[in-house]
Structure 1
Amino acid sequence: MTVLMLARDGDKVAERVAAELRGRGTSVAQVNPSDFPSRLSMGAQLNSSSSWTGRIRDRDGLDVQLASISSVWQRGITPFVMDERMSSPERAFAYGEARRGFGGVLTALGDCLWVNDPMAAARAEYKPLQLAEAAKVGLAVPETLITSDARLAYEWATRLRRPIVYKPLDGVVHADEGQVRLLYTAPLTERESLLDPAFGRTAQMFQERVPKSFEARVTVIGAEVFAVRIDAASTAAQEDWRSDYDALSYSVIHLPFDLRAKLLMLLARLGLVYGAFDLIHDVSGRWVFLEVNQRGEFGWIADTTGLAIYSAMADLLEKGA
């Protein structure tokens, strides 16, 4: 059987896990979906057996039978690159066909473990869903407001009577007219700024600013839980540790049993087998759930702490469906 890794070229984390799997004698095929269809091809057929058969090939000699794939690891978003000889509308159409054809066949493979299942992964990208499901399993979550109504936001902040922060709903990295902008969690220092006439142009999320003792990144792979305390030494990192990695220090910790159980329960409710959780341990000793990233990185945590996260991912992929 074969583990299929969908990863960009030069993905060191994927390469590290692939090397461990190959060392165990497990077949691994690492492909970059961006190479489809220029360097990577797929042919798939469906008959009365209800299972897709065929092969994935590339120009470098890769030849993988679809029926042999036991696990798929979707490492990140790797957009298809369409032929520039097509017009813009043609490229848009071709891109959609590639996504639904190449991606659709892989999604339809039977008896195959996905890390993570594409449908569950897409659903789990919605932070409002994460927060609601976290609350259902008994995790503490910050007081949260999502709105496009400036007056409602102002009134909510006034009633809360505690510091609040703005958090983007769609991650940190955003394209802005050919440039990349990084939007981190940011404190709202002036309540009156919520009344800006531009407020209503889109949905916005605000949360109470939880007073932190420290933060934690908890990597969950199957039933394995790896918890790391993150201490921040700069003002920027104390607000959002992703904004200043050089100011961070890490230490391995053990979570309370009930918290660990709730994280596993939440992952199951979301239909995921892998997740990178961000938590706050507040000044009162309470654990607060912030979010779970179903494609969250773990390489730097594993490299810094020595935790066996690479091996745990290899175990999960090797086990398959």
Structure 2
Amino acid sequence: MIIVDVLLISDKYDFTTDFVCIELERKETNYLRLNRDEFHNYKIQINSSYFEMLVTVGENEYLVSEKHLKSIYFRAPIFLRELPHTEKSLENILYKEQWMSFIRNLLIFENILWANNPEKTYKAENKIVQLKYAKNIGFTIPNTIFANYAPKLQNEKYIIKSLDTAFFNIDENEGFVYSNIIDKKELQEANLKWAPITIQDYVSPKTDIRVTVVGNEVFATDITINGKGVDGDWRIVKDDVKFNSVTLPTAVKNNCIELVKQLGLNFGAIDLLKTDKNDYIFLEINPTGEWAWLVHTASQPIPKSFANMLVMK
């Protein structure tokens, strides 16, 4: 039987987790990776006599016990977002709901490091909560209104976002809502009553900064085209952008670390805007954010940092 030091909850094709597993193998760490889309291929039980988890994967047996477990890397959002009008069988619904409940119950492993704890992730995924915490610790945040109508507006342009990540299934094609630049007139004439939206001050010129916080380590990357920031949502032109590692001012770096800690997290992917006056504006934090794309594009050693945190070295 293999005694597990690090448990990873992920998906079969998650490259971010792949990077961490490679580093854990280099450290000769006993880890167990459980993929949510492959739970039916495992034999799993938790017995209330000891509140330990026994897992059989193929011919290998694993013991997950708080006596030996150091950490859990939880690579999954807590709010399950389903594409509307997607047919799901009763079996699929039962599979997803019950296994998600099972994962949440891994909170029995309390005295270990979580990246991140599902309870804390649940709270940290909320955009309004994020802005409150960021403002309280000293971040500059853009003036933001959450509403289902257009209030009195002073500026000529605004950034409009969904309050939560919005996916759609349109003519059998998956759709995703990006941030959009909207004129004041168009916004005031829009019918918004059916759902709340995020109305945020339009900042231009600006440069997007992605900050990856792993424990007390901070990796920052600016996102540019031809050395200049991208107007609007850079993901719309993501094939043309370049990622370059940058150094944050000490105060901004410390705020990023503090925000992650204040939210009860050990990892966070933070989006900032850098203005032409070298001010840094907080936009949001993702407690389950992606970072694998930064390993090669920006040469950032995030996997090594993550593995070090998980094995507590």
Give the TM-score normalised by the residue count of structure 1. 0.85
The 1:110–1:132 alpha-carbon spacing in structure 2 relative to 1, beyond 3 Å, is closer
In 1, distance between residues paired with 2:155 and 2:288? 35
**Would you tell me which structure has more helix in proportion to its own residues?**
1
State the SS of the aligned residue for 1:246. coil
Give the superposed CA RMSD.
2.5
More displaced stretch, 262-271 vs 3-12? 3-12
1:246 Cα offset (Å): 1.6
* Alignment check: 8 A CA contact 1:121 1:294 kept: yes
In 1, distance between residues paired with 2:21 and 2:270? 24
Structure 2 gaps of 5+ residues are: 81-87
The 1:167–1:283 alpha-carbon spacing in structure 2 relative to 1, beyond 3 Å, is same
1:104 Cα offset (Å): 3.3
1:41 aligned partner: 43
1:111 Cα offset (Å): 2.2
1:168 matched to 2:170? The reply is no
In 2, distance between residues paired with 1:92 and 1:11? 22
1:24 Cα offset (Å): 1.1
1:106 Cα offset (Å): 1.5
Aligned ranges 1:1-321 → 2 under 5 Å = 1-36=4-39, 38-47=40-49, 52-58=51-57, 60-67=58-65, 68-77=68-77, 92=93, 95-100=96-101, 102-148=102-148, 150=149, 153-155=150-152, 157=153, 160-171=154-165, 173-176=167-170, 178-196=172-190, 198-232=191-225, 237-319=230-312
State the SS of the aligned residue for 2:105. helix
* Alignment check: 8 A CA contact 2:71 2:113 kept: yes
* Alignment check: 8 A CA contact 1:121 1:272 kept: yes
1:82 aligned partner: none
The 1:234–1:147 alpha-carbon spacing in structure 2 relative to 1, beyond 3 Å, is farther
Give the TM-score normalised by the residue count of structure 2. 0.87
In 1, distance between residues paired with 2:265 and 2:89? 36
In 2, distance between residues paired with 1:172 and 1:248? 24
* Alignment check: 8 A CA contact 2:104 2:118 kept: no
1:84 aligned partner: none
1:172 Cα offset (Å): 5.8
Identity of aligned residues (%): 24
State the SS of the aligned residue for 1:121. helix
The 1:63–1:91 alpha-carbon spacing in structure 2 relative to 1, beyond 3 Å, is same
* Alignment check: 8 A CA contact 1:116 1:273 kept: yes
Structure 1 gaps of 5+ residues are: 80-86
1:134 Cα offset (Å): 0.5
Letter in 1 for 2:259: L
Runs of 4+ in structure 1 off by over 6 angstroms are: none
1:123 Cα offset (Å): 0.5
Aligned length: 300
